[in-house]
Chain A
Amino acid sequence: GESVGLHLPTLSVQEGDNSIINCAYSNSASDYFIWYKQESGKGPQFIIDIRSNMDKRQGQRVTVLLNKTVKHLSLQIAATQPGDSAVYFCAETYSSNTGKLIFGQGTTLQVKP
């Protein structure tokens, strides 16, 4: 079946550097994408979302980029901090499938002090 996948299972960065986490999706019908952060033993925490009619969206220290041509999604974290260490998941859905998310593989972000 179709799925959302991530390229890098683990990303290690130095504190203060920028982080980029990538995601590939395969369902061309998906029109809504979300990035979640999950800390150990906890549920996913919403970070930022983007709809398919946009190619970039910025939040506080985070930016999501969407390239529909190659079905690619990325999460950029500026000035990465130790508190950013977690597993990051992208998820996709489509308008008529409210709330039914398909999650990607997940990337572990390790921030070195």
Chain B
Amino acid sequence: GAVVSQHPSWVICKSGTSVKIECRSLDFQATTMFWYRQFPKQSLMLMATSNEGSKATYEQGVEKDKFLINHASLTLSTLTVTSAHPEDSSFYICSASTGLTNEKLFFGSGTQLSVL
């Protein structure tokens, strides 16, 4: 099956710094990538939809200036958490789609962010 690689798998940073998370589709071209956030013992919450070559679409309540998304190529999307605070500590997961209707989505392995 298709492989989505996410890097890093975990990161610890100081409050106020920025952290970049990468999501790559390794064997297919992803016109659309999705970013989710998951707090402990909770479900995945969609943060934003990332379309190659255009601006990301953010879900209600997600600050676009805080969570910067770049989808510069068909195989890479990045999520940058700017000026991170302890409340941003969470498990961030990406998924990738070729854009075909109702296809299976493939998820990355997730990034655990801990902000001190």
Q: Which residues of A pack against B, CB within 8 Å?
A: 31-32, 34, 36, 41-46, 49, 51, 89, 93, 95-96, 98-106
Query: How many Å from the CB of A36 to the closest CB on chain B?
Result: 8
User: Of B41, B102, B110, which one neighbours A43 at CB under 8 angstroms?
Assistant: B110
- B107 an interface residue at 8 Å Cβ cutoff? yes
Q: Are A102 and B46 in contact, CB atoms less than 8 angstroms apart?
A: yes
Q: Which residues of B contact A105 (CB under 8 A)?
A: 43
The 9 closest A-B pairs by CB, nearest first: A99-B97, A43-B107, A103-B44, A103-B43, A43-B110, A32-B102, A43-B109, A44-B107, A43-B93
Q: Which residues of A contact B54 (CB under 8 A)?
A: none
Q: Are A106 and B42 in contact, CB atoms less than 8 angstroms apart?
A: yes
- B34 an interface residue at 8 Å Cβ cutoff? yes
Chain B residue at smallest Cβ distance from A1: B60
Query: How many Å from the CB of A104 to the closest CB on chain B?
Result: 6
Chain B residues bordering chain A, tally (CB within 8 A): 30
- Interface residues in B5-59 by Cβ distance below 8 A to A read 6, 32, 34, 36, 41-46, 49
Q: A46-B106, A49-B104, A101-B105 are in contact. Are A106 and B97 (CB under 8 A)?
A: no
